[in-house]
Amino acid sequence: MQNNPALAIKTTYDKALALARDGNDLQAAALLDGLLLQAPNLPEIHYQRARIAARLGDQDKRLSAIDRAVALRPSEQAILTEAIAAHSAAGNHETVLSLYDKQIALDPKAIKPQAEKALYLQTAGQFDESEKLLRKLQKKHPYDAELYRMLATTIRIKPNDPMIGAMRRLANHPRLSATGRMHINFALAKAMEDTKNTSKVFPHLRLANKAQADLWPDDPEVRKAERDGVLKAQDGLRPLQDAKGTDPALIFVTGLPRSGTTLVEQIIASHSRVHAGGEMATALRCAYASFGTGADMRPLAEEPSEHFKAFIGLLGRANVPFVDQTKPCLTDKSIMAFMIYGLLHATLPNARFIVVHRDPRDIALSIYKNHFKGGTHRYANDLATIAEVIKAFRQVISHWRDTLPDRFAEVRYEDLVSDPELQSRRVIEAAGLEWEDECLNFHEKGGTVKTLSLHQVRQPIYKSSTAAWRRYETEMQPFIDAWGDTPWD
């Protein structure tokens, strides 16, 4: 019986994918590399090689593999999407834009690729180009409410902007979906604030947050059980002997949403030894994978040392796609990393921990005014609940302040904006670095920024965002009542 080469290739290919699904990326990569000798013109092989290379941190291989896949099959949306991700990570701005244009050309009527290109332009700081594209999309798709919110987020809307009238008409449309009500009312709230119609801001915010809460209901008990279970699991944990930490060393920058963590990360990442990882979300995910999820996390003081070493290895591998090999330090501003500071302190002796605080009233207002990705920050739709979440955050930080012996620092956003140089020097020292003047010029750095604060980090530090809550003191009363007698500072 003759061998069937096509069948043999498929068998090996399927085996490689199975290995990758099980986390055996090195073995999977070796099989796919071998397949290239037999089938160099199969785009699927190059596509999978690129995806695995991304997880292994081999940027050059990722780019060469995905470029070959694009050349072989330029009309495949999944390949183009992976190519956009690869070249975005590499900072190849012009290539990313050309890839988006390829996607758009495949289906010029589709909204998604054009909207994603507009978002990318925003992250790259090209706000004028992004605005032009979004306004063009709005004209073609006047009933797509999300397009209005996307644009309103990054421009200052003027009183005579025709978009305001279009948004009002859409908000009153009888067939507008719940998702549409959410997007259009967040956009209208921003428009009312920009045009100084402050009395109309909160009516729109209430409608937006009501729609968002209906779409993604909150469960305070689940949130509390997770927090209490994770903290209890870390009781009595001692530093792991002979632990060396990760390479690169991690600098955790945590705080509540809208507290100034992006600003602090950008200051640190302007240092020549630091690369900005952003909201990597790897630490908590690896902790849950290693020791149990949320309320079910096992008592860590009872875990054998080999489990902690496995956790360090898992975290190191998970961070690889975010690493710049030329920089010995990597920032991680994932919101929830503060939950496991005890575990991270015990296992990563080369890590640093910086917590950012801000006036709770300004945090609450900014959280309530902003749309978050569906299903995240479900507490954000109710001012009284936001107060409880901020209190809980402070309690956790107070615990770590009393527990962690070193490498733990705190900074106030208000202090940072009132005395940028002094506080920036404190931040850089807390990160374990020598001062560099470039850290004051973070807004000139360039590159992409994926955060709600992407417009602010393109500008020098400014004070206008402090005490913004005073303009809405009456509307903020549910938050103030829920805060009670707890000190603001």
Per-residue pLDDT band for 458 (boundaries 50, 70, 90) equals very low
* Residue 217, pLDDT above cutoff 70: yes
Which range (48-52, 59-63, 396-400) has the least confidence?
59-63
Sequence letter at residue 333: K
User: Could you give the CA distance from residue 350 to residue 378 in angstroms, rounded to a whole number?
Assistant: 34
- Tell me the pLDDT of the chain averaged across its residues: 92
Given the DSSP bridges, would you call strands 352-357 and 249-254 parallel, antiparallel or unpaired?
parallel
* Residue 207, pLDDT above cutoff 90: yes
Rounded mean pLDDT of 3-29? 90
User: Could you give the CA distance from residue 121 to residue 117 in angstroms, rounded to a whole number?
Assistant: 6
Structure tokens at 291: 């020791």
Rounded mean pLDDT of 213-239? 96
Which range (16-25, 192-201, 361-370) has the least confidence?
16-25
The pLDDT tens digits of the residues spanning 85-103 come to: 999 988 899 999 999 999 9
* Residue 455, pLDDT above cutoff 80: no
Query: Are 170 and 145 within 8 A, CB to CB?
Result: yes
Percentage of residues in the chain with pLDDT exceeding 90?
A: 84
Is the pLDDT higher at 451 or at 237? Answer: 237
- What is each CA distance from 399 to 125, 229, 278, 349, 484, in whole angstroms? 39, 14, 25, 19, 21
Rounded mean pLDDT of 53-62? 87
